[in-house]
């Protein structure tokens, strides 16, 4: 991995500005769009902003669904 920059807890690429990941005391949030291949052993435990999910996308089975951010 190359260098990253940080703004308000979000890590991003300093060259193109793409958001990459965020870290807090309890978890890491990885933007899946930055990965070439999905990490097969990882299983999402929740989904955020499901009210914006495209109608043709199905919910992730077993994951907690949040209409917006977690509260």
Non-local (6+) Cβ contacts of 31 within 8 A are: 18, 19, 20, 21
Q: How far is CA 23 from the centre of its chain?
A: 11
**Tokens 């949030």 appear where?**
29
Check: pTM over 0.75? Answer yes or no.
no
> pLDDT at residue 1 above 60?
no
Residues 28-55 have a mean pLDDT of: 81
| Residues 9-19: tens digit of each pLDDT | 888 888 888 88
């Amino acid at each position: 991995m190359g260098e990253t920059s940080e703004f308000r807890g979000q890590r991003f690429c300093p060259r193109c500005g793409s958001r990459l990941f965020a870290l807090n005391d309890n978890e890491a949030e990885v933007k899946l769009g930055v990965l070439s291949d999905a990490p097969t052993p990882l299983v999402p435990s929740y989904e955020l902003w499901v009210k914006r999910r495209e109608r043709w996308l199905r919910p992730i089975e077993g994951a907690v669904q949040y209409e917006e951010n977690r509260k």
